[in-house]
Amino acid sequence: MTTALRKLPSPLGVHLLKGPARASGYEVARIVWHIDPSGIPDEERGLPLVALEALLRSPIAGPRRSTLVDRAAALGVRIEPGRTHLSCYCDVRGPRDSVRAIVPVLTASVAAAEVTDDATRAARATVAAGIAERERNLADHAQRALCSAFVGPDGWLGKHSAGTVESVASIDRARAESGARGLAAASAISLLFSDDAAADLWCDGLAELVSSARPDPSAAESANIVRGQADPRTETSLRGPRGTYLLCGCLTEVNDVADQVALEIAAHALGGWTMARWQRLFREELRYTYGTATSCRIIRVGTREYGLTTLGMSLIDGDRAAVTELFDQQARRFTVDGLTPDECVGSARQLLAAEPLGTVSARIFVARAAQPIQNGFDWTIAAQRLSALAAADPDDVNSRLRRLMETTVIISVVGER
C-alpha cells in the first residue's frame, strides 16, 4: 500500500494523498475535516455529523431543487458521511466521470452551509439511529468502557464520537447550520482519493472550504489523556441482546512507531488469526467462543501518541465467572512472559504479507490510508510502520510490551433483556 501513496503539491495547504490509479473507471475519495476533541461539550459532539447529513439532504440550487444525495444517486455515486473522535468525513465513490461531475456540487453545497428543517430532522434521525445501534452492541460498549477505565468517566475517548441520542435530538436547524459553517471554515482538511487525474478539480472545489487561518497542528492540546490508575477489572450490564462479551486491552502512551508495531504484533499473535494463542485456547480447545477479535489503533493528540490495543470475544458456552477468571489469568501471564520468538516473527511476517490486501479495491485502499491520517498522524506513518515490522526483533518487542502493557484491563459486558 505504501509504495502507491503519493503526496501531491497543493497551494491551498490541503492534504492531498493519491492512491493507485484504477483501470476499472471506479473512483473513491474521502474528504476529512479534522476536529480537536478537547473541550467539546457532549451536546456538541454530534453536531458536525448532523450538519453534514443535513447538507446532503437539503435542496441545492438548480431547476429541480433536488438534494445532493438524489443528484449523486442519479449519477450512480454514493456519498456517505461518518464521524470519528478526531474527524468528520465524507466518502464519495462511483464511476469516475460521475464522481467528478458531483465534486463541484458537493463542495459548493458545503460552502453554502444552508440546510432545511426537513433535512435537519432526517439527519437527526439517521445519526441517532446509528448511536442507538452501537449502544446495543456489546463489543462497542466494552470498547468504550475500557477507554473510560483509562481516561476517566469524562474523557472524550470513552464516549461515542457522535454524542448521545438525547444530545443529537436537541439539534435544531439553526445549530445544524452553525455546524455546517464550521465545516465550511475548517482550518484543517485532508483529501484522499484513488486517482489523481482529477486533482485540479478537487483543489478548485476545496478552495472554497479552506480557511485562510491554518493553525499549526502541533500547537493543539498535548495534555496526557490517560489519567490515574485504571481499574484492572470492570463488569457492566447492558439492556439489549443477551450474552457476554469479554475484552482485554490497554491504552498507553507510545514513544515511536516501533512501540506501535509492538502492540500490533501482540494483538495479532494473541487473537488476530486462526492459530493465534487465545484463538486456539478459547475457541479450538475450550469452545467458549466462535472466535476472537482484535484491534490496534493509534491516535495522536497534539504532540502525544497513544496505542489502544484490544482483544475480545463473545462467550457462547461455559460459566461466565470461570471463563472471565481464565481470561484474566491469560492476560496476566502474557504481561509477564510476553511472546515467543516464533509468535513475534510469525506475526510480523503475516502482517507484512497482508499488505497487498489493502490495495484490492479503491474503497479499501482509501479507507486504510485515511485511518492514521484521521487519527492525527502524517501520511508517512504507513512507510514507517512497514519498516518497523520488517525489523521487528523478539527481544525488543517483548521489552517494549512489558512497558506498554504493564496496566491491562479486563472488561466484562453482560447483555440483559
In sequence order, what are the beta bridge partners of 245? 314, 413
Closest by CA position to 40, among listed 179, 190, 184, 191? 179
Write down the pLDDT at residue 117: 95
Q: Taking the mean position of all CA atoms in its chain, how far away is CA 167?
A: 21
Write down the pLDDT at residue 340: 97
Q: Residue 353: pLDDT above 50?
A: yes
Write down the pLDDT at residue 11: 53
CB 109 within 8 A of CB 68: yes
Q: What is the mean pLDDT of the chain?
A: 86
Residue 214's φ and ψ, nearest 5 degrees, are: -125, 95
Grid cell for residue 118: 426537513
What average pLDDT does range 385-390 have in this prediction?
95
CB atoms near residue 227 (< 10 Å): 12
What average pLDDT does range 385-407 have in this prediction?
95
Write down the pLDDT at residue 400: 97
Write down the pLDDT at residue 213: 40
CB 31 within 8 A of CB 52: no
Find which of 8-12, 141-145, 362-366 is predicted with most confidence, using mean pLDDT.
Answer: 141-145
Q: Residue 2: pLDDT above 50?
A: no
Write down the pLDDT at residue 60: 81
Provide the pairing of β-strand 409-416 with 26-34: unpaired
Write down the pLDDT at residue 248: 94
Higher pLDDT, 8 or 262: 262
In whole angstroms, what is the distance from residue 14 CA to residue 17 CA? 10
Q: In what helix (H) or strand (E) does residue 34 lie, and over which residues does it extend?
A: strand 26-34
Write down the pLDDT at residue 214: 47
Find which of 184-198, 350-364, 390-404 is predicted with most confidence, using mean pLDDT.
Answer: 390-404
Cβ-based neighbours of 273, under 8 Å, separated by 6 or more:
279, 350
Grid cell for residue 363: 474503497
Q: What is the strand order of the sheet 15-18 is part of?
A: 6-7, 15-18, 189-193, 26-34, 87-95, 78-84
Burial pattern 197-206, b for ≥16 Cβ within 10 A else e, equals: ebbeebbebb
What average pLDDT does range 149-160 have in this prediction?
91
In whole angstroms, what is the distance from residue 335 CA to residue 344 CA? 14
Provide the pairing of β-strand 6-7 with 15-18: antiparallel
Task: Give the confidence band of 317 by pLDDT, cuts at 50, 70, 90.
Answer: confident
Write down the pLDDT at residue 82: 96
Q: Residue 415: pLDDT above 50?
A: yes
Higher pLDDT, 232 or 156: 156
Higher pLDDT, 218 or 361: 361
Write down the pLDDT at residue 217: 46
Q: 3-class SS at 7?
A: strand
C-alpha pair distances (Å), 384 with each of 38, 188, 266, 303, 393: 28, 23, 18, 18, 16
Higher pLDDT, 350 or 7: 350
In whole angstroms, what is the distance from residue 336 CA to residue 241 CA? 35
Q: At what angle do helices 173-184 and 96-112 cross, to 10 degrees?
A: 120
In whole angstroms, what is the distance from residue 89 CA to residue 189 CA? 9
pLDDT tens for residues 264-311? 999 999 999 999 999 999 999 999 999 999 999 999 988 899 999 999
CB atoms near residue 226 (< 10 Å): 18
Task: Give the confidence band of 1 by pLDDT, cuts at 50, 70, 90.
Answer: very low
pLDDT tens for residues 161-180? 999 999 999 999 999 999 99
Write down the pLDDT at residue 221: 53
Closest by CA position to 14, among listed 29, 33, 35? 33
pLDDT tens for residues 7-47? 655 555 566 666 665 567 788 888 898 888 887 888 899 99
Residue 133, Cβ density class (10 Å: 0-12 exposed, 13-18 middle, ≥19 buried): exposed
